[in-house]
Amino acid sequence: MTNKLYKWMNWPKIEEIIYSECDNPHELLGPHKLGSQTILQAYFPGAESVTVQWDFAEDAEEHKEIEMEVADEDGYFAALVPVKEMGFYRYVVSYGDGRSFVTGDPYRHKVQIDQKDIDKFKNGIHYTIYEKLGAHPMKLDGEDGTYFAVWAPNAMRVSVVGDFNRWDGRLHQMRRLSDGGIFELFIPGAKCGDNYKFELKLKGGLTYLKADPYGNAAQLRPDTASVITDLSGFAWTDQEFISNREKFQTGEVPMSVYEMYLGSFVNPKEGEIYANYREIAPKVISYVKEMGYTHVELMPVMEHPFDGSWGYQVIGYYAPTARYGTPQDFMYFVNELHKAGIGVILDWVPAHFPRDTYGLSNFDGTCLYEHRDPRQGFHPHWGTLIYNYGRPEVANYLIANGLFWVEKYHADGIRMDAVANMLYLDYGKNDGEWVANMYGGNENLEAIEMIKHFNSVLKKRDPGVLSIAEESTAFPLITGKLEEGGLGFDLKWNMGFMNDYLDYIKTDPYFRSYRHGELTFSMIYAYSENFILVFSHDEVVHGKATLVGKMPGDREQKFANLRLSYAYMMTHPGKKLLFMGQDLAEFDEWNENRLVEWDLLKVPEHKGVADLVKDLNALYRSQRALYELDSRREGFEWLNNISGNECYLSYVRKAKEPEDMLLVVANFAGIPQEITTGVPYEGKYKEIFNTDDVKYGGTGVVNKTVKKAQDVKWDEREQSVTVKLAPLSLSILQFIPYTEEELEKVIEQRLRKNTPVKKAAGKTKTAGKKETKRA
């Protein structure tokens, strides 16, 4: 090495780079002005020679070049270039075995994360931090490559390793930004489809690999690398759906959700393990449209290593699982469902994460994402780690992630899993396994604040997108307004309804009278939150039996109980959710290794259940009484909820207009009954649905004739009707006000008997059109 160049060498810093312990390689590597010249330094471990080329002509053939001098035989090179401003240049690297390659210089580019980004991230309010951290293909200073950034404040050194550098952590050591613990580097030539990880070295010398916490794609398990991808290229065509989304799914509208696991819906092609998102989409659309569901809810599509977790133990929070294709394939899936008018809700798991060593656990040698104290950071039942929600960067990671799926993948709802685990410090733990909060209580104050923060930002940035809580306790105001002290969710899973109802219905009808309260208790708290009624995947796995399998009695009674259950859920206040396969009355429990048993549609009993669910969905979407006042007490009225010995219920569902009212009579007894029930209005009642209809697999005990309210006092009402019901069946009757002519005859009869007439808010019908008269 020439003396002139030798004296500019910072040997201690060079040693840091060679020993891969440098967190600011840009201090030496890359171009640095030296008067009217530029000094270039580069490190290519094991290289024999390096030539730098610059001043390219337009055809890129003509250029200037100079061979760099060897500063260290391990592969450290330097050169003085007689140019003050280098512009674009490249290295030609040669090895003793004849190998060579051409590359740009990663260390000539400026930082792409500014202080404003860092400050927002440190304060937990950078809602698009995923656009800064992670891997982002781009053109920078005229070069195509990928920009990498990762948060690892306690690492001594971080490198990017991948297909583009033979997984050599010495080649692309990253720069630590002066504040915030972020490392970054732009790598020319790193392209979409390349696999990569971050290599971290700790002060004690321990060196290991981690997948990218913000990676947008990942390898198919069991491989664990992140994959470079570009999310900007997909052409969305769902603008019409998005513009109408708030009207479609918020407020008093019908919402019937088909919960599904993507891997169980479609048979893959021969030789494939899973079907592609693009293959699944048209079949989901066809089935969901035929059955009348409004939404699908996908069990977690975020990348996860263990099939048996069904996606609920997430490693790649920012990557749709590679099991079914690429991120662009998943975008296609959502886009196609939107074009078909179907909403897409995604399960999201911010409550815990697995301990897999390539993931978030002990990320930078410290408990960065989790708590250090296992009483705070470890969940003993699940064997997973709990997020440190009080660390702003961790809360930011999660909040931005929820927004990411809404804003990058057009999700219409985020269903937050295991909210109870987040709310309570002692959830699933014994004494001594948890630490109280600062006030001595068991509430996780940091998690509560994170949830409120997420819901607040979601409503401001993406109005009309639903936030749904899977929460199983009596924690108050889950769906309460944020400004009134609530958590700000739009909907809460009604786990109480599901558990109480299933406990009741699986009891032999002979003994149900003793459990009648479980059937009606849900209406005591039905309006304390905005609920969605669920028969979810949790109830048909792990030895719990499927829904039809839970039902008592012989085969015929099991199906009758199931039809009754679906009709009761559909007429009970609350949105609706049903897990895949249950609308076919599957007897086999679901697991991730099997498909939905579509062949059951060839069996009359099972086809009857499917037809029943289809007709219930149609009824739900067409009858205003089933949704228009769904979250208001005036939308529901018990007529008889105290006949436990007889095991029946009667109630009405109401809409804004009285003539839209529906009467529901349900027989939970194992014997046929003629049930007399009081009715709120004088008029006619026409059966429009009966679970015992032969087309649903019933015995055909239905009420074909229109029923007129009779002058028989019942259930503290002046008038009543009598409905004939088969064992384990439910009837829905539509209220039809009298025409003026019919009403006049009734009034005349009442006057003779001196009996009052209770009209439906003074409304009558004439010749097919409605008139409003005030009584």
Distance (Å, whole) CA 227 – CA 162? 9
CA angle 754–760–764, rounded 5-degree value: 90
Other CB atoms closer than 10 Å to residue 401's CB: what's the count?
A: 21
Region at 98 (left for phi over 0; alpha for psi -120 to 50; beta for the rest) = left
77 Cβ contact partners less than 8 Å away, ≥ 6 residues apart = 41, 42, 43, 44, 47, 50, 68, 69, 70, 71
Distance (Å, whole) CA 729 – CA 561? 7
490 is catalytic: no
What HEC string does 370-416 produce?
ECCCHHHHEECCCCEECECCCCHHHHHHHHHHHHHHHHCCCCCEEEE
Torsions phi, psi of 648, nearest 5?
Answer: -140, 160
Torsions phi, psi of 593, nearest 5?
Answer: -100, 5
Which token pair is 643? 């006949």
Taking the mean position of all CA atoms in its chain, how far away is CA 326?
18
Other CB atoms closer than 10 Å to residue 551's CB: what's the count?
A: 23
769 Cβ contact partners less than 8 Å away, ≥ 6 residues apart = none
Closest C-alpha to 727, from 700, 695, 688: 700
| Overall residue count recorded for the chain in this entry | 775
Distance (Å, whole) CA 454 – CA 457? 5
- Using DSSP's 3-state secondary structure scheme, residue 609 falls into helix
531 Cβ contact partners less than 8 Å away, ≥ 6 residues apart = 491, 492, 493, 494, 497, 573, 574, 575
373 is catalytic: no
DSSP state of 715: T
**CA distances (Å), 617 to each of 215, 290, 296, 567, in order?**
39, 10, 14, 10
Closest C-alpha to 506, from 462, 460, 544: 544
Which token pair is 625? 């009484």
Which token pair is 444? 């996780």
Closest C-alpha to 48, from 74, 22, 26: 74
Catalytic residue among 184, 417, 471, 718: 417
Q: Is the peptide bond before 374 cis (omega within 30 degrees of 0)?
A: no
Instruction: Please state whether beta strands 69-72 and 76-81 pair in parallel, antiparallel, or not at all (unpaired).
Output: antiparallel
Torsions phi, psi of 599, nearest 5?
Answer: -65, -15
Distance (Å, whole) CA 181 – CA 122? 9
Distance (Å, whole) CA 174 – CA 171? 10
Q: What b-and-e string marks burial along 403-428, b requiring 16 or more CB atoms within 10 Å of the CB?
A: bbbbbbbbbbbbbbbbbbbbbbbbbe
- Using DSSP's 3-state secondary structure scheme, residue 225 falls into coil
**CA distances (Å), 495 to each of 405, 500, 530, 637, 740, in order?**
26, 8, 13, 22, 46
Catalytic residue among 212, 279, 336, 470: 470
Active site residue ranges: 417, 470
